[in-house]
Every structure is written in structure tokens, then in C-alpha cells.
Structure 1
Amino acid sequence: MSLSADYYADKTADRCGGGGGAALAHQRKLIRGLLVWATLLTLGLGASITLHFIHRDSPAPRDERDNVKLLSWRTMNNVFIEGNETLRVMKDGDYFLYLQVTLLPEHKGNHTITLQSKKRKVILNGLIDGSKLSSVFMANSVSLNEGDILNVTCDPGAKIRGSQTETYLGVIKLNST
């Protein structure tokens, strides 16, 4: 059994308070507009995140000396952090710090990698088990104050791989306090 178009027109018009076709068409336009807007925002956010990770030059150690105990860094821009071996925080705020350190494979034994500040003490602490691993990756969010001093140490000293993809320290400022 099939129903006529008149039957559907009568039933839908009753739900919308009579003559609701124009209101329904307007709602459909609004929904389509919102879907297009949400799609554009999602694409823009995806592109922004992709460019952040692809285009970004991460600070890397400057040299590959034997028995490095205090790691050296080359800062790319001095907006939030400046320095080389000791890094000084330029502005108060909440920061996301991420650190990867890779040793040369001939360094057997355990090595402790520590990112610490003078005021907050240990921020990140990781262990490289020389029998299995040659890298450690750590991350943490932390509140830092202007003038706070950060440094990264390796105990005992070892030869660190210096490429930007193997050893790096990243700093993302989340907000101001």
C-alpha cells in the first residue's frame, strides 16, 4: 500500500504548526552552514597542527663530545627560553616540556637523564637501560617563573647523538599565569 504526497504534506504540516515547510527549509540551510563551518574549522586545525610539527626546527645539542654530563642546546627563538647549557625562562607561565635523549649504542650500562630547574628541582627524570635501550623520551607540564634556570644532565656522562631527530628539548608555552 502506498500513501499519497497529500497525506505526508498534511502530517508534516501539522507537526510544524501548519505551513512549516519554510521553517524546515530554513533549518536545513542553517544545519548545512554549520556543517560546512565545522568542516572548515577541522581542516584548518589539522593543517595548523601538521605545519607545527613539520615546519618546526627543534633545538638540538651543539656537539657530540665524549662524557657529556651537561647537555648543550641551540635555541631557535628566544621568546620563552634562552641560553645554551643553562636555559633561562623568559616569561612566567605554564609550559609543556618534552625531551628525548639518544646515546651512541656503544654506551652500555645505565644512564640517568634529568631535566631540572633551580627553583622546582627535578622536572623530568628518565633511565636509559644500556642493555636494551639507547633513547629515553619524557614529557611533563609544569609552571615556571621568569628567571628560572633549567638544565639537562646525563649521569654518568656519555656521548650523546646530536641530530635534531634523536636528541631534542621542546618547549610549548600553554598560557600565562
Structure 2
Amino acid sequence: MASQCHHHSLPIMHYVMSRSGRQHEELDSSNRAHVAQLRRLVLLLLVWSFFMTLGVAVSISLQFVLPRPPNKEVTVQGKSNHPEIMMYDFSESTRPSDDGSFELKWKNVTGNVKVEVQEDGNYFLYLQVVLQDPSPNVTYTVRFLYETVESTKPERILERHINGSLSTGFMGKGFPLPGGTSLKVTCKPAVNLNKANTYMGIIKFS
């Protein structure tokens, strides 16, 4: 009798352990995505804090270096002294072009958008591209490009090669841009991208 009970309990234990394993896998996947999102936010806040601190330090220094006109106030309507932050998530890829590269398309809270700057100014541009299933022994080239209204072809801002890893890591650069400049990101050769961890952003300072 005890032997029969033991044999009946084995499938039940196997089912419980299998179901518990699947639940742990689902929780691990959800936790990894949540942790990645938190890391993005923390990194962005650190960058923003650094430039805010730098801006305050420069402003204080200029107060002592430059003379201030007496009894004269200048106000600019519609301008803000605070950085403007624009963030975009990877949406989809275009088909590979003749040279084997494809362009990344982006989205924000309103949906798919064309990424461009509207006004002349100084910007901090940042980017991270994460591959989903790269082929072994293949070097992937990621380029961050800009194209002005007067450009004949896109110009390079940043470039990073991925070989033996999954990610470009965090890429960032300060850059002056004229209004109407469009920003583009390309990857070569074609590969699936990790949507949860591929993103770009723009911080406008002045």
C-alpha cells in the first residue's frame, strides 16, 4: 500500500516542480527587464545631474568673470534654463540596403517618430544598441549619424563595433546642432535587436 502511494505521488511532485520552475523562469525574465529599465533611468539621471552641476559651476564662474550691465534686465520669452530631455525606444528595423546596413526606427509615448532637433543649440546625444542573437565571429558596426537640411549625406557623430559581446554599451557625446537636423542610427550587417534595451536620447542645454 505504501509503495502504491509513493508511485502516485511521483507524477504529482514532478508536475509541481515543473510548474514552479516555469514560474521562476517567468519571474527571472520579468525581473531582468525591470532591472534593465531601472539601470537606464539611473544612468540618465547621473548624466543629467553631471551636466546640471557643470552648468551651475560655469554660471557661477561667469558671474565673477563677466561684468553685469547695471539696472538692465533681459528676458527671453519662451525659453527655459532647464535641460530638455527627449527619450526614444527602438521600434523596428528597415530592410537592409545595398551595403548590408539597416536603419533603426524609433518611438516615444506618441508612437513611431522621426527623430530630429527643432532648434539650434547644444545637445548631449546618447545611445545604446543591444543585439538579440548575433552570429559568432561577426563584427557589427553601429553608427550614430546626423543630417542637416543642407547636408548632401549623413555625417557621423559616434561609431561603435560589437564583436564577441551583445551591446555597444552606453555611447554619448555633446554636439552643437542646427534646427531641422535629423538623427539616424544604422547597424551593419543585419541582426535582430533587443527591444527592451536598445534606446537613444537627446538632452538640450541651450
Q: With structure 1 as the length reference, what TM-score do the two structures score?
A: 0.55
Q: What amino acid sits opposite 2:185 in the alignment?
A: V
Residue 92 (structure 2) pairs with residue 63 (structure 1):
yes
2:122 aligned residue (94, 114, 120): 94
Please state whether the residue corresponding to 2:90 is helix, strand or coil.
Answer: coil
Q: CA deviation at 1:57?
A: 8.9
Taking the aligned partners of 2:93 and 2:184, their CA distance within structure 1 comes to: 17
Residue 201 (structure 2) pairs with residue 173 (structure 1):
no
Taking the aligned partners of 1:105 and 1:128, their CA distance within structure 2 comes to: 12
Rg larger for: 1
Residue 192 (structure 2) pairs with residue 159 (structure 1):
yes
What RMSD, in angstroms, separates the aligned Cα atoms of the two structures? 3.1
Deviations 1:25-80 (A, max 9, x none): xxxxxxxxxxxxxxxxxxxxxxxx58x79xx9942111378867100111347xxx
In structure 2, the partner of 1:28 is none
More strand per residue: 1
Taking the aligned partners of 1:57 and 1:96, their CA distance within structure 2 comes to: 11
More helix per residue: 2
Q: CA deviation at 1:94?
A: 0.4
* Contact residue 134 and residue 191 of structure 2 kept, 8 A: no
Taking the aligned partners of 1:76 and 1:143, their CA distance within structure 2 comes to: 26
Structure 2 unaligned regions, length at least 5? 1-44, 50-84, 149-153
**Structure 1 stretches (4+) deviating beyond 4 angstroms?**
64-68
Please state whether the residue corresponding to 2:119 is helix, strand or coil.
Answer: coil
Taking the aligned partners of 1:140 and 1:57, their CA distance within structure 2 comes to: 15
In structure 1, the partner of 2:166 is 134
Structure 1 unaligned regions, length at least 5? 1-48
